[in-house]
Structure 1
Amino acid sequence: MPKPTTDQPLPPMRAGERESRAGGEQYCLSPLPVPTDSEHGVDVAHIDMCHDGATMDLRQGASPESLLITGHVASGLMTFLAGLALVFLLSAVYKGSLPLELVVGGVGVTYGISLFPFFTGILFPDVVLKRIPPIRLHRQRREVAFVVDAPGRRFWLPDPTNMWLMAISGAIAASTGLIFIAESPEWMTNPDTAFPLKVLLIHIASLAFLPLYPHFYDFCRKLVGQQRQTVLVPWEDVIAVCGFNPSLSAGGVTGFGWNFALMPPDPERPGYTLPGAGIIVGVGGLPGALAQWEYIRRFMEEGPEAITPSAREWGVEWYDAQVARERERYERTHDKRRWQRFRREQWWNHARFAHWYTEYRMKHVLPRAVPRDWLAEWSRPLPKAQWARPSRPLTELSEHLRAAYQRGEPFVELGNVEDRFGIKVEPPPRKAYPTLPFAANAP
């Protein structure tokens, strides 16, 4: 479980247990991946990036929503600048002249402000996505590969996903870009003025900092022996929980949300999880969390034919189909106002670019989160004779649970299923899981 705030860790939860604390609730779905009687296994959070007959990669992928917000902000900023430029233009017409310094300053301000959506919506999210490796499940080996932080003291360099790095480098890039553009006319018209080389170099360095800093960070961690590691966790040891937690502010509770989490336990410290590993995603409620767990569990226990992947809701092809549906509806209903409102919204949010760049991220950015040959040997399918089999306690528990579901007993009211059905599970040995360097392959 996540590290508690008390000095002593709480006892590890088992499948079926429920805990209430501080206005929230937490349901434990695994260890021991038992069925939860969810009607459907659904990828609610869209974390199934790819799967085949043997493996499945889980991770938070790219979404066009953030890019649509970025496009909305960019349109608002450009509209404000266009209005400001119109005011200055009318003033120049009234006075009969338009100073060159004003034009150059306007270009510099426009360039500097345009870097804000570029840094916050494109450059920094790309850096973050490249730092989130997937969780790889191998159903034939019944193992799950997690990428964890190296044990030891906290590393002294700031993490590449630190938002302060983005804010500082973005501010430097915007200010130096404005200064360079503002000083360029004087350099071009006055031969005695030196070229602003230092400002240009600082500007280029600030633009290149975010893409290049992660490589420097990983190099330094490798020098001190703190590079990330790949840990192979037995499938039946993996922790799956769903939680209902309130969102708090100074004024009180502002909302509630359901989360689903998949995490590797620390075998040497019961009650803790391995650092920096796992995934936590938002789901629509307890049924959504159970459906997300069933999607993963059914793939591992029954195979890819037992699941139905979620429909893809991003990409240029999907966007063109959406526009075609809206056009068809307009031609059928002649609702011109709705059609114009839809087109304005898509144009204002730069929707086509958002879907195109989301597709680019999925194909070219997300794969760079792991080395190209990461776990290539380990991920290969095995002959059926070498497949790992479910443990006896898991098989017995699954049979008892299916019988209980037939009697109308829901999973969330059963409590600890091991105690409920008298199934004794041997505690796992307190020894570390197989570990290898993140950049290395697995046998």
Structure 2
Amino acid sequence: MFNTNPKDALPPMRAGERESRAGGEQYCLSPLPLPTDSEYAVDVSHIDVHHDSATMDIRQGANPDTMMTAGHVLSVGTVFMNGFFLVVFCMAIIKNTAYSQVLAFWGGGLYFVFLYIFILGIIWINTLLKRIPPIRLNRQRREVAFVVEPPGRFWLPAPQNLWLISAVGTAAAISGGMGIIEFNEWLRGARDSFPVGLTLLHIGALAFFYVYPPVYDAICRLFKRERRTVLVPWEDVAAMCAFNPGLGPGAITGFVWSFALVPPDPQRPGYTLPGAGIIVSVGGLPGALAQWEYIRRFMEEGAEAITPSAKEWGVEWYNAYVAREKAECERTNDPARWRRFRRKRLWEHARFAHWYTEYRMKHILPKAVPSDWLAEWSKPLPESQWVKPSAAVNELSKHLRAAYQRGEKFIEMGDIEKRFRVAVPAASQQAYPSFPFRRGSSR
């Protein structure tokens, strides 16, 4: 059920069911937001980016680890380029020739490395974050807003398409590096004309990343392929966790646990709405149950029933982290550990990574939705207008809590509805209410 467009629809699962497929297992936690036997309600995957008394936005946010990986690759590339061209420059000194050419190639190589990492580590991730809107849960209306992609494939690649970004990024990086070399040739008179072609190609490739997304959206509107905001009843939303084997060359290298929150397609039982929902990694089944309980308790009990995860990014957090490490090294009189720590942080550009992660969370993520998205729908309601849980949810929750007192486990009960013989009304096969996802389409 994780696949939004399978060739053959999987049979719809109900809360408590589990199945084994291809060496992995899948556990269904809902539809029907029923309590599990998890003692904790924890935002394991850090997907709660904002919540108030009425709504919660969940999505995959920015992560400093991504930036530190990019910083590591940048350091490796820079050291390699500097080492290689230092040897070449020494050879040029020995032969007393081609100084300017070597320096131009040196600068061009460094610019190529920087630009390629910049495009993949910053521009592409920013584009990706701006193209993935959050899932908004409204506990008072007991509805969940998903942004759904239009069905089928489109002939234009999406702005966040990795192949597109890689192709244009390669063109920008190569033209930039070659442009520096050709510019040097023009300065020293080895070529007659300024490298206009490479310059225009370089500028055009960089401009593409900022011009293409609005053009793509305009073409999608022209061809009636707009994304839509769909309001799904909270008790219809499907929550699942699964683990699947990680395959390496000729062997299983490990298992990956995932938690998913997806909207079912009422007109196609067994399918989910295309391009909607969220799938995140969790540490195991307890982590998946804790993540589900975090979301469920907010919707059922309110913001006071949850404790958000501590922020582990930003300059302030990083400074405190460095101070703790320094104090520990001083306490244990281990200067070698402190030097290793500092070298690793400098090699990964960790301070910049945390600063830019904070910038992304404050300035990039909000651009994923229009400023007036669901403005009216998100306003708090008088308590008298709150939508109440269904009778089936109340009755099954009572049975489950009694079962937990007897020592039973949620994942071992099977279909909860059949287990306690509670009749649940059949799901409606009418399409959920929806409206275009764009600026000015508030509700």
Q: Give the TM bin, normalised by the shorter chain.
A: over 0.9
User: Distance in 2 between the 1:263 and 1:222 partners?
Assistant: 25
Match of 2:117 in 1: 117
Equivalent residues in 2 for 1:251-266 (5 A)? 251-266=250-265
User: Distance in 2 between the 1:21 and 1:92 partners?
Assistant: 62
User: Distance in 2 between the 1:189 and 1:104 partners?
Assistant: 11
Question: What's the offset of the Cα at 1:156?
Answer: 0.6
Q: For residue 29 of structure 2, give the secondary structure of its aligned residue in structure 1.
A: strand
Question: What's the offset of the Cα at 1:354?
Answer: 0.4
* Worse-matched range after superposition: 237-246 or 82-91: 82-91
State the number of aligned residues. Answer: 442
User: Distance in 2 between the 1:219 and 1:5 partners?
Assistant: 25
Q: For residue 253 of structure 1, give the secondary structure of its aligned residue in structure 2.
A: strand
User: Distance in 2 between the 1:6 and 1:206 partners?
Assistant: 36
1:124-144 Cα distance to aligned partner (Å, 9 max, x none):
111111111100000000000
Name the CA shift for 1:80/1:102 in 2 (closer, same or farther; >3 Å): same
1:388-417 Cα distance to aligned partner (Å, 9 max, x none):
000000000000000000000010111111
1:251-289 Cα distance to aligned partner (Å, 9 max, x none):
132221110000000011111100000000000000000
Match of 1:278 in 2: 277
* Worse-matched range after superposition: 168-177 or 191-200: 191-200
**Does the Cα contact within 8 Å between 2:259 and 2:282 map onto a contact in 1?**
yes
**Does the Cα contact within 8 Å between 2:135 and 2:277 map onto a contact in 1?**
yes
Question: What's the offset of the Cα at 1:5?
Answer: 9.0
User: Distance in 2 between the 1:164 and 1:10 partners?
Assistant: 30
**Does the Cα contact within 8 Å between 1:69 and 1:349 map onto a contact in 2?**
yes
Equivalent residues in 2 for 1:243-254 (5 A)? 243-254=242-253
**Does the Cα contact within 8 Å between 1:176 and 1:202 map onto a contact in 2?**
yes
**Does the Cα contact within 8 Å between 1:377 and 1:441 map onto a contact in 2?**
no
Match of 1:52 in 2: 52
CA RMSD of the aligned region, Å? Answer: 1.6
* Worse-matched range after superposition: 248-257 or 37-46: 248-257
**Does the Cα contact within 8 Å between 1:3 and 1:9 map onto a contact in 2?**
no
Name the CA shift for 1:2/1:90 in 2 (closer, same or farther; >3 Å): closer
Name the CA shift for 1:436/1:340 in 2 (closer, same or farther; >3 Å): same
Equivalent residues in 2 for 1:293-304 (5 A)? 293-304=292-303
**Does the Cα contact within 8 Å between 1:129 and 1:366 map onto a contact in 2?**
yes
1:40-83 Cα distance to aligned partner (Å, 9 max, x none):
10000000001000000000011000111111111111111121
* Worse-matched range after superposition: 120-129 or 192-201: 192-201
Question: What's the offset of the Cα at 1:190?
Answer: 3.6
Match of 2:209 in 1: 210
Structure 1 residues without counterparts, runs of 5 or longer: none
Match of 2:9 in 1: 9
Match of 1:21 in 2: 21
1:168-220 Cα distance to aligned partner (Å, 9 max, x none):
11211122112221121333344982222221111011112123222111111
User: Distance in 2 between the 1:303 and 1:6 partners?
Assistant: 36
**Does the Cα contact within 8 Å between 1:376 and 1:441 map onto a contact in 2?**
no
Q: Matched residues, percent identical?
A: 60
Q: For residue 27 of structure 2, give the secondary structure of its aligned residue in structure 1.
A: strand
Matched AA of 1:180: G
Name the CA shift for 1:3/1:72 in 2 (closer, same or farther; >3 Å): closer
1:349-388 Cα distance to aligned partner (Å, 9 max, x none):
0000000010111111111111111111111111111000
Q: For residue 194 of structure 2, give the secondary structure of its aligned residue in structure 1.
A: coil
**Does the Cα contact within 8 Å between 2:4 and 2:275 map onto a contact in 1?**
no
Structure 2 residues without counterparts, runs of 5 or longer: none
Question: What's the offset of the Cα at 1:89?
Answer: 3.1
